[in-house]
Amino acid sequence: MNKSDAEKRINELVEKTSYYAKMYYEEDKPEISDFEYDMLMLELRDLENRFPELVKKESYTQHVGGNVKSGFSKVEHEVPLLSMQDIFSLEEIKGYINKIQKQAEENNIENKRFVVETKIDGLTASLEYKNGIFVRGSTRGNGLVGEDVTQNLKTIKSIPQKLTENIDITVRGEVFISSKDFQEMNSKREEEGLETFANARNAAAGSLRQLDSNITKTRPLDIYVYNIQKIEGKEITSHYEALKYMQKLGFNVNPIKTLCSTSEEVIKAIEEIGNKRNSLSFGIDGAVIKVDDLNYREVLGTTAKNPRWQIAYKYPPEQKETILTDIVCNVGRTGVITPLAILEPVQLAGSTISKTTLHNEDFIKEKKLKIGDTVVIQKAGDVIPEIVKVLKERRTGNEKEFKMPENCPVCGAKTIRLEGEAAIRCTGTECPAKLYRNLVHFVSREAMNIDGLGENIIDQLLSKNLISNIADIYKLSFEDIASLKKNGTKFATNLINSIENSKNNDLYRLLTALGINHIGAKASKVLARKYKNIDNLSEASLQELSEIGDIGPVMAKSIVDFFKEDQTKDLIEKLKQAGVNTKNLEKEEFDQKFEGLTFVLTGSLEKYTRQEATDIIEKFGGKVSGSVSKRTDYLLAGEDAGSKLIKAQNLGVKIISEKEFEEMI
């Protein structure tokens, strides 16, 4: 390759790898497999070695990871969290070991051993302890500056808040989600119609980098610690001894660690990990080979990006051929229709694979899949089976095109694909597949606010066939409800009263409860005030709705499509017959003293729920946002205010108490 062609290809590779790295490190949404990315990086590194004058400073061979996510405080790492150079052949491993041991002899280093560990597929984190107490945790970021995720890390049970010794120490570890937990989490998300995670690594990364630690708390995160970055008051000279010492301090240490003296022992350890990888409880994307002597590490030093004292061996992904015998569609609890590939069963990475998700319509088109195709599958992140490519040369002409259904396979209602979304959804308001999710939303606090009718009770009502659609809530008898609990008389009385009270809700609550796509509580209030009753709204034209402030064309189309459906008309008629109010009841005129002002709520208020405070602000013309920014005018802070309060103070946002809020209204 001449210099001109090399420059062109380097530019292409830098652009591609930068984009894919951004999606991986910063967005936690990988678009290609780790193996495909590694091959691009390998090609780029090779070209840069051959043409060093063409190396671009923005190349990912020259720096680490991603940028700090907006909303997190920056943490400067005292000891840089560098990445590792990847190699892909055991012959290269042998060459690396021999080179390091030869240099050890030249420098009179006695300890020429190595430690081989699993390369855990997760997100790197740094944990800092002062006098044995956990004080700060951060992500790797770009290796020099990371994100302060202390509160999120405190939700991980395997991270000790206090060590067994009162020592100042900083350690490095990998946050991950176990294979079992990941599969369970994705299955639950699929049932609920939510987008599934591509792999366990990105699920862990996305969970740890949540701005709300309450979300992180719900995710099954774990950690393995594998390196001492900094320690005071104790002399440690061996990495293997450091691992044992960290275990003694109470850390969850990488469980697979083998001390080796020769290249043959190192390769044997790598092969043993490779043989175990399908049976491990956590995902790995390679094996790490580290120099054991910590003083020798100082002698070896680092490059701009990689330590010379460690290297990562990447295992090639196991792939198998099989036949795509059919494509079927599942309907999730939110109405998302997911295509599922039915495969001729094949053994892959320790398990029998007979089906795999095809994600959405775009994925099928991108892969150019046809029913009857011979396909190549592999496990993404050693967990989820995925179709990598189609072997078009194997086609016989008998293969069939697949089209996503125009009608829901469960209820027959029309399906839609909303603008900006990859998912196709069922529009049926009475679709049995969506019933549980629709019921949970309908009775929720921001919707019809039926207190006592929680997810567990809804589950019982459905399992006992006491309800088969939303309107059946209003047919429940005292005896029906009392039968759900032992000595359930008081519970039944309270719930019956709550159901009856919900009949008198304002129209905007009913519109919110119906779950019209893109229409939340705010838009529902606008529509209720404009149209006065649900019949007027159901007859509104697309053009008329599009011209309403805060609605717009996408929301307008969603409203028109919703009220066209026979299932919608049937449900509204049933609700009317049950005595549910379908008119706007708001009569009191409020002045617009909060017009143009944005409020954020945090902590627990004494006299108001969050929803009640939001309603008051909106009636006075104000807006309520979920996050603090420079555009926030007031932060209404209650008891136990958290990170929003700190951010508001840093940005100089006006902070008001509940008493001050009452004075304002």
Q: What is the pLDDT of residue 590?
A: 58
Q: Which of 15-29, 118-132, 293-307 has the lowest mean pLDDT?
A: 15-29
- Indicate whether 194 pLDDT > 80: no
Tokens for 466? 């006491």
Question: pLDDT confidence of 315, banded at 50, 70, 90?
Answer: confident
**370-384, 398-412, 552-566, 593-607: least confident range:** 370-384
Reduced to 3 states (helix: H, G, I; strand: E, B; else coil), residue 134 is strand
Give me the mean pLDDT over the 637-659 stretch: 87
pLDDT for res 655:
93
For residues 60 and 45, give the distance between their C-alpha atoms in angstroms, rounded to a whole number.
Answer: 9
pLDDT value at position 369? 95
Query: Which secondary-structure segment (H or E) carries 656?
Result: strand 654-656
- How many residues are given for the chain? 665
Please state the three-class secondary structure of 338-376 as a single string.
EEEEEEEEEEECCEEEEEEECCCHHHHHHHCCCECCEEE
DSSP letter (8 states) at residue 420: T
- In the chain, the percentage of residues whose pLDDT exceeds 70 is 94
In this structure, is the dihedral angle defined by the CA atoms of residues 466, 471, 477 and 482, taken in order, positive or negative? positive
More confident residue, 650 or 38: 650
What mean pLDDT is predicted for residues 75-90? 90
> Which domains, from first to last, does the chain contain?
3-54 (1.10.287.610), 84-313 (3.30.470.30), 319-394 (2.40.50.140), 424-577 (1.10.150.20), 598-664 (3.40.50.10190)
Q: Is the pLDDT of residue 29 over 80?
A: no
How far apart, in whole angstroms, are the C-alpha atoms of residue 210 and residue 214? 9
State yes or no: pLDDT of 415 exceeds 80: yes
317-327 confidence digits (pLDDT tens): 778 899 999 99
What's the pLDDT tens digit per position in 425-440? 898 888 888 888 889 9
**pLDDT given at position 273:** 94
- For 545-569, what is the mean pLDDT? 89
The structure tokens 């400073």 sit at 57
Q: How confident is the model at residue 66 (pLDDT cuts 50, 70, 90)?
A: low
Are the CB atoms for 174 and 224 separated by under 8 Å?
yes
Q: Which residue has the tokens 């150079």?
A: 85
Comparing 153-167, 217-231, 598-612, 623-637, the range with the smallest average pLDDT is 598-612
Across residues 66-77, what is the average pLDDT? 73
pLDDT tens digits, 340-387: 999 999 888 666 889 998 988 999 999 999 999 999 998 755 557 889
Q: What percent of the chain has pLDDT over 90?
A: 51
pLDDT digits (tens, 9 = 90+) for 626-638: 889 989 999 999 8
Catalytic residues: 119
Q: Record the tokens describing residue 373, joined without a space.
A: 């195709």
